[in-house]
Each structure stands twice: as C-alpha cells, then as structure tokens.
Structure 1
C-alpha cells in the first residue's frame, strides 16, 4: 500500500482541510493517508480548541486513515523544529510522499529554494544575524535575509506561513536524507491569517475560531465552513465540557505562575532569552486578560507567536535543561498512535515488523523523557476543568487506546 503523509493541527478540521485531503488523494494516488497531528497545544503556542481525541475523530471521519501525535517538544516550536519532528515520524511509518498546502503551489520552487539556500548558507546566516541585530523578529529577519540573498531571483515568498512550513518540510527531507517525495497543493480562497470570512464555504481556521468566540458560543456562525462531522464533534465537546479551549481560560494559571516566580526561575524556561522574563514580570500585575497582557509585552522583535510559546512553556514548566537535549537529534523517539481506520490498521500490519520506533497505544506501557513532556502538557491542558471531571479525563489519557473507525460502516469499533 502506498502511504502519503499530511502534517496538520485541525483546529478545527474545516472545508479547506477537506479540500486538501481530497486533492492529496487524487494527486498522489495514495492508498493510505497518515496525519501527523499536534497534540493539545499547537505550533503558535496556544491550546487546541478541543482535545486531540476529538480532533482525531474529526480526521478519521473526514477520510484520514492513521493519526499519530506530534510530541509537544516539536509541536510547539518554530517551523524548522516542527518540520523535523513531523518528517521523522512520517519516515518512521514508511510514507512514500508528504503533501502540504502552500501559497505558492509549485513543488519545484521549494526544491530550488532549499538547494539555493544550502549553497549560500554562510551568506544567509550573515544577513540573518544583521537583521536580528536591527531588532527584527526571527521570522521577519529570515524572510529579509532570503530576499537580500536572492534579489529578484526568489523562488518563494518566505513571508507566507504555509510557504515557510513547506520550505522546512522539504529541507527536513533533504537534511535527514529521507527517501520521501514531496508535493504541494495551492491554498485557495482564504489565507492562513484571514480573520474574517471572504468566501461562501472556505475560511481559515483563524477566522473560524474568531467567529466562534466573537460573542457567546454559537456554532451556527461557522457551520458553512466546516463539515457536518466537525460540527457534530464540536457540539458534542461543548455540550460535555461547557467550553472550548483558548488562552483566556488559562490566564489565571499563567498569572499565578508568573507572580510566584523569580526572574532567575523564569530565566530557566525554554525560550526565555535576553531578559524577556523581566518584561513579563513588569506587566503581569496590571493585566486583567491574556489579550491585554500580550498587547503590553509584544514588541517588534518578540512576536505574538514567540511570546505565546514562552507563556506556554512557563505554564507547563518546560525548562531549557529538559527540552534542549531532547531536540539535539531533531527526530522523534516513539510513535503515539491516536486513531486509525480499518484501512489504516491493515497498513500498520504490513509495516509493523520493519518499524524502528516503538508504537505506543497507551502511555502507561512506555517510559520516555519526550513522552513525559506530552503527559505534563495534557495535565496542563486539563487543569482548567473542575473536579471530578479533571481527574476522569486524566485517567482517560493514560488508559485510552487508539480510536478505531470503520470507514465503510462509519462506526467506531
């Protein structure tokens, strides 16, 4: 069976994701689609709207065959680290191809850019260093360095979020010497950062979440932009938990952590650099909401995303000494299986003797420093729930086996 990989967050799964999935199947002729999906916290340093288990069900019912979790250590990182972890997982599962969405839509441009950058890495690093010294954020400095290096001969617009990710996926395949093909599908109708609806049925996840939280929770605001299965699982999650996850729900916990920490303690947190912890402490006392706090601490150099990731690592108490050693090889050390269709199970049966990494069905069956971070992240994600619901959900995290879905009968097994 030919397997193709997709790298996703599905926060939530929407019509644009369905388009990408359908086009991926057509473009690659894949018999099995494997999704590497971020867990309960995402690349921009924010909590997922609903749990990874609910998003797994959305993915399986939409046509994904296997869902595996991208560990917290990779899922909440800059694009390069996020890509390295994701590609290493797809390679471990013997994917022949990865297919990603991009603003560019032409795979040769990504390959040419990777080749170009490799040949001129030293010059690029110099331009990058200069831009950072001028006070630009890393993403902006990286884009400026590439533009300075390539002049008018640019292959990609590396200021676009999906182009950036796609570039790092192709680069990760190249650097890790993976025997994997890459392909891309052009994004249509809605940009990644769009905050409002501009199309009848296609919208960015950002605009969907904004509409969802604009007033009182009202799923009718977004039903034109998500599949019926997504609407079903969002409704189910809200009815059961009486909330969707967003940073505001965690602000009280973050404020407590900051107010009870010293600058020296905060300096040990991953991504706390150049005394930024002092800026956080200077503003946390007066801030009454997370949004207000972020508006006060963001600067030209420290983007909203970077600061969100720092706040998340403070919340989960993820230190430099704990995380940096785990990222040295830039590859994962296990496969956490979240769900599979019958077809996905058949595929796993054909490769399981050759898979070099342990496939984890339950966290109690495996001890690993990388996995410990995932467990701590889940404990943090669930910390906003009242008891006894919180303890019940924590027990489920330890005991829940992979979700099994029959794609023919549309029934869970």
Structure 2
C-alpha cells in the first residue's frame, strides 16, 4: 500500500482542506492518507477552536485514513521544530510522500532552497544576521535565503514557510519522503472543480466566533458544519485560557518563569509586568514587537501554562487518534517496522511520553464551555469510521 502524509490542524475543517485531501490522494496515487494533526492546541499558540476528537472525526469524514496527534511539546514551537517532528512521524510511518499546500506551488523551488539551507555556510550566514538583536530567527532565515536564491521562493508567506521547513527537515533526514505541493490560488478557489466557496480557516473562525454561523456554512463541507452545529461546546480562543495564564504569572516569580523553554532574553519580566492587565488583548499588545510576533508570544504563554521547562527532554511518539478500514489495514502492515512508540491506549503508554499531551487536555477541559473531560485521553479510544 502506498501512503501519502499531510500535516494539518483543521481549525476548523473547510472546503479547501477537502480539496487538498482529495488532490493528495489523486496526485500521488495514494492508497492511504496519513494526517499528522495538532491536538488540543495549535501552532499559533492558541486552543484549537474545536477539540481534537471532533477534528479527527472531520478528518476521517473528509477522506483521511489515519490521524495521529503531533505531540503538543512540538506543536508549541517555531516552524522548524514543528515541521521536523511531523516529518519524522511520517517517515517512521513509511509514508512515501509529503503533500502540502503552498503559495509557490513548485516543489523544485522548495527542494532547491532546502539543499542550500542544509549547508554549513548557510547556518553561519544566519548566525551573522542574528548578531543584529532586532531580527528574529525567522527574519534572519528569510534574509539569508533571499541572498542565496533571490525571489525563487518567498518564505514570508505562511504556507511557503511551513513547506520550506518540511522540505528542509526531509533533506536533513536524507530525504525519506518525496516532496509534492499544491499551489494555493485565491485560497484554492480557482483550481477547485465547480469552485465551491473557499476562504481561510482564520476567516471562518472569525465568522463563527462572531456568531455568523450561516455565513460560515458555505465555506465548509456539510459534515463539518453539522459537527459544529451539533456540538454543545463553546468555540475556544486564547482569551479562554488567559485567566489561568494570568494567575501563573502573578503568583510565580520571574526566576521561575525564566526556566520555561522559550523564555529568553529577559522576556519573563515583560510577561509578568503585562499580566497586570485584565484584558487579554492589552496583555498581548504590551509584549508583541517586531522581534516577538503574536504567535511566538502565545506559544511562549502556552509553554508557561503547560510547564515546558528547558531541562525537559521529550521523545516523539505515534499517538493514534482515528482511522478507517484502509488506515487499519495499512497500520497493521507497517507497525512491526515502526521505530517510534505506537500509542493506541494512553493508559498503556509510558508516562514520560504522554505527560504533556495529557496535561494539555486537562487544561483544555478547564476552559469555559469545554465539553472535554479532564481524563478524556484515558476515556476515549481511537475513533473508527468504516
């Protein structure tokens, strides 16, 4: 069986995602589609608008055959770590191809850029640029890559950034996966047969959160829309976790906060000072700068809440969230050759593997209106849809 991997958040699942899934299967002639999905929290450093089991169900109804959770310890990191661990999981699952959407649409551009970025002199160039303390790592990377390949690949664009890091991670692992990319043109709309209404997940979240449910309906497959309508859960945002974050910042010392993984350059003092604000937007506005983007600040905040300390070592593992009959057959075929631990029942997993993801679910369950139970990871089995 031939497998193709995709890395997703489905926050929430929409028409563009459905098209991407269908094209992944068609263009790579895949028998099995493996989705690596963020769990309770997403890479922007926010709670997923819907819990991971609802989003797993949407993925399976949309055509994915296997859904695995990308551990939260890797989700709450910058793009290179996020991408590297997703690629590692797909490679271990014996996927032949990784298929991602991008603004560029040329796999050759990504492969060329990744080969250049995998050279020692490129890392030295980035280090030189980081000596300018006003540049973030991402900005230094962008400038260095532009010097090397000019306008061949614009990694200031969000999907190009992730595509570049998927390809670079693959290159560093000696290319276990083939690279394929689907060009995003007007959010896929110009290339989708019959042109169903398509917009970004960000725009759909805004509609849903503002109560414009019927407006969002046209941008989502009917099964995804029904899941939202039938759910009694609130739609989650960063604001729902701010009270917990504020408590931590007001009761812990800056020295304690400084032990957290992404807390560097004395930013713990800015976090503690900003926590005097009662409103979450006031808090974020005081910390966000050109060097510290909103997403980076929110990821750091999540690391504080989840106690991601610098000294902690975390190992990757394969946590199965859901599958269909095809996925079950494929997993049965490859599981004897897996190097990463396969977890289908949390209660049987080693504590050091699952601790952060269990903690993330507990935090998600505490947010107002959440229908997730604190022990849901132990209570829920992988979803199975035939």
TM-score, structure 2 as length reference = 0.93
**Cα distance between partner residues in 2 of 1:188 and 1:301:** 30
**2:287 corresponds to:** 297
Q: CA deviation at 1:383?
A: 1.5
Q: Name the structure 1 match of 2:222.
A: 228
Counterpart check, 1:401 vs 2:374: no
Count of residues paired in the alignment: 380
CA contact (8 A) 1:71 1:370 kept: no
1:55 corresponds in structure 2 to 55
Matches within 5 A, 1:71-220: 71-119=71-119, 121-131=120-130, 133-150=132-149, 152=150, 154-190=151-187, 201-214=197-210, 217-220=211-214
SS of equivalent to 1:353:
helix
How far apart are 1:25 and its partner, in Å?
1.2
Query: Which residue number in structure 2 is paired with residue 40 of structure 1?
Result: 40
In 1, distance between residues paired with 2:219 and 2:253? 45
Displacement of 1:132 after TM fit? 5.5
Quote the Cα distance in structure 1 between the aligned partners of 2:250 and 2:317: 36
Instruction: Report if the CA contact (8 A) 1:4-1:95 is conserved.
Output: yes
Q: State how far apart, in whole Å, the 1-side matches of 2:335 and 2:126 are.
A: 46
| Counterparts of 1:283 and 1:339, CA distance in 2 | 40
1:33 to 1:295, Cα distance in 2 relative to 1, 3 A:
same
State the Cα distance separating 1:375 from its structure 2 match: 0.9
Please report how far the alpha carbon of residue 122 of structure 1 lies from its aligned counterpart in structure 2 after TM superposition.
Answer: 2.3
Contact 1:124 1:146 in 2 (8 A): no
How far apart in 1 are the matches of 2:185 and 2:218? 16
CA displacement at 1:369 relative to structure 2: 1.9
Please say if residues 117 and 123 of structure 2, whose CA atoms lie closer than 8 Å, have aligned partners that are also in contact. yes
Any idea what SS the aligned residue of 2:60 has? helix
Cα offset for 1:271?
0.6
Equivalent in the alignment of 1:195: none
Consecutive unaligned residues of structure 2, counting only runs of 5 or more, are: 189-194
* Secondary structure in structure 2 of the residue aligned to 1:222: helix
SS in 1 for 2:4: strand
4+ residue runs of structure 1 moved beyond 4 angstroms? none
Give the match's secondary structure for 2:25.
helix
Root-mean-square deviation (Å):
1.9
Match of 2:192 in 1: none
Stretches of structure 1 that go unaligned for 5 or more consecutive residues are: 192-198, 327-331, 407-413
Cα-to-partner distance string for 1:249-299 (whole Å, 9 max, x where unaligned): 1111111111101110110111110110111122221x2221221112111
CA distance in 1, matches of 2:375, 2:118: 47
1:235 Cα deviation after fit: 1.6
